[in-house]
Structure 1
Amino acid sequence: MNKVERVSSLRAAVSAARKERKTIGFVPTMGNLHEGHLELVRQAKQRAEFVVVSIFVNPTQFGANEDLDNYPATPEEDARSLAELGADLLFLPELTTMYPSALEEQTVVYVPKIGDLYCGKDRPEHFYGVTTVVSRLFNMVQPDIAVFGKKDYQQLTIIRRMVEDLAYPIQVVGVDTIRADDGLALSSRNGYLTAAELRAAPLLAKILNEMAVRMQDKGAIPSKKWLREIESEAKAELLSKGFSPQYITVCRQSDLQPAKRGDTKLVVLAAAQLGKARLIDNLEVELTES
C-alpha cells in the first residue's frame, strides 16, 4: 500500500490505475479505525479494483467545545490494518492541502433542509464541514464509487443528495452498521465511555429495536400522535438510565422528514449523550401498506 500526502501524487496514482481500466473506490475516514471502518474498505474492494482510503481529522465539522483537540489518533495501527486488508493507496492530506484559504474564508458546500435537521440542529457547524470536506475529497480523488457507513444515517443521506445535486459521477454505497456483540454501534467515540457506561450504552440500540417491533406489530403508523408517544417513551427510558437524549425520531428514509400515516420506508434516528460520549444510532424499518 502506498501512502501519499500531496494531491499531485494522489492524482498520479489514480490516473495510473485508470489507464489500467481499474474502477476507483474511495473510503473517507478520520482515522482511529475500528471494525466498522474496515468493513467499508472490504466493501469498497468488492466493488472496485483500486481502493483509496483517506485519513483527515476535519476541523470544520467540529463545533465549539467539541473534541477536535482530543479526537483519538492511531496512525500506525490504521496504516497496518489498511495494508493487511489490501487497500491500494492511503491519502494523508495536511490541513493546508484540504483548506488552502483561512477556514473562515473557505468556500462552503452545504445541503439545505436535510442538513438543518437533527444533528444539524444540535451542531449547526457540523454538516457544513462534512459536505465541504467530502466535496473537496471527491474532487481530489475522483472516484467511481464512494463507501460510507449507515451509522450516521443523516450524513449518508446528505452526501447522496449532494452527489445528486452537484452531478458528481459517483455511486454512493451505504454499508450496514457494524455492532459489538451487545448491539452497541461501533464508533471511535466509544473510547470515551467508562466501563459502567459501556455496559449501559447498548440500551440505545435496544430501544430502537423495541420501537421498530412496536411499529411492525401495528403493520403501519396508526397516527402521528401514537408515533410521538413512542418517541417520548423512548426518551424517558434513556433519561431514567443516565442518558441525555438529544433526539429520537421516526423519519422517512428518503428525505428524513418526520414520518406520518401512510409512510412505509422509515428510519428511527437517535442521538444521546452518555458521559463524555455523544452516541448516534439508527434503525431502518419497513412497514406494510396502510
Structure 2
Amino acid sequence: MPSDTDAPDGILLVDKPQGITSHTAVSRARRALGTRKVGHAGTLDPMATGLLILGVGPSTRLLTHIVGLDKTYTATIALGATTTTDDAEGDETTTADASHLTRDDLTAPMAALTGEIEQVPSSVSAIKVDGERAYARVRAGEEVELAARPVTVSRFEVLGFRPGVRAEVDVVVDCSSGTYIRALARDLGAALGVGGHLTALRRSRIGPFDVEGAPLADALPDGARALLEPPARAASRILPVALLDDERAANLAHGRRTIALEGERGLVAAVHGDRLVGIARAEGRRLLPVTNFPTGGAS
C-alpha cells in the first residue's frame, strides 16, 4: 500500500458489468489503485449494468454531494407477468396475456408515472424497516409493505416495443435520486392490467457524469490511477466554484469561516489554485466550512 503522501485521490467512473455486485466492483478498484479507501455514490443490483461513481482517498468526502444527483437509465420491461422482486431475478407470481397491447396503449399510463409522483419502493429494496433492510426481511419470509415516497420522473419514454403474449418495452428514464425503476415497471404493468417486471437495467448518467468511456469495473488496468478525476475538477462539475485567495483558503482549511464574496451563494466548491480546499456554504457575508479536504488535489 502507498504511503499517505502518494495515496490516490480523486473520482473514478467505472462501468459495472452484469453479474457482479457493486461491492465486488469496489473491491477490484481497491486492488487496482492500491488503497483500501474507496467508496461509492450509490449501488447497482447484480442484474444491472452501467455507471458507478467511486470516491478514492480524501475524495470519498465528495460522494455525499454526488449521491443525490439525478440519474438516467435505460431499461427493458416485460409486460404479462409480475414477480416477487419486480425484476427477472424473482419468482413469477401472476401471468396474463399481453398480446392485445400496442405501443399507443403505453402513452397514458407512462404519462401518469411521469412528473412528481408518489412511488412505493419494491419490497426487496435496501430501505431499512425497524433497523433491518427490507430485502433481508423478505428473504426471511416476511411480507414487507413500504410507504410511498415522493420522487420525480422527468422523462419516461418508449425506445422500442415488441408485442406478444409477453410484450417487451425498451424505455429511457430521467429521474431523481431514490427512484426505483423496477417499481416503474411494476406500476406500468399494473396500470395496463397485465402486470410487469424489469428484465434489464443500465445506468448511463449521474448528474454531469456519464458512463461513456468509463472502463469496465472488472477489468481496471494497472494504471488506473491515471483515470482518476482530481477532486477540484470533479467538485466544480457539481457545485459552483468559489476561487479563494491565500487568506481565505487558510481559514477554510483550518475549519474557520471566512468572507463570502459577491455572487457566492449556497454550497460551493472552495478552490485555491488547482486544489480543492473543501465544500463550503455561503450565507450572507460568511463562507462557512462544510467538508474540508486537508490534502486537496490538483484539477
**Pairwise TM-score range, normalised by the shorter structure:** under 0.3
Higher helix share: 1
- What TM-score do you get using the length of structure 1 for normalisation? 0.24
Higher strand share: 2
- What TM-score do you get using the length of structure 2 for normalisation? 0.24
Between 1 and 2, higher relative CO (CA 8 Å, sep ≥ 6) is seen in: 2
Say which one has the larger Rg.
2
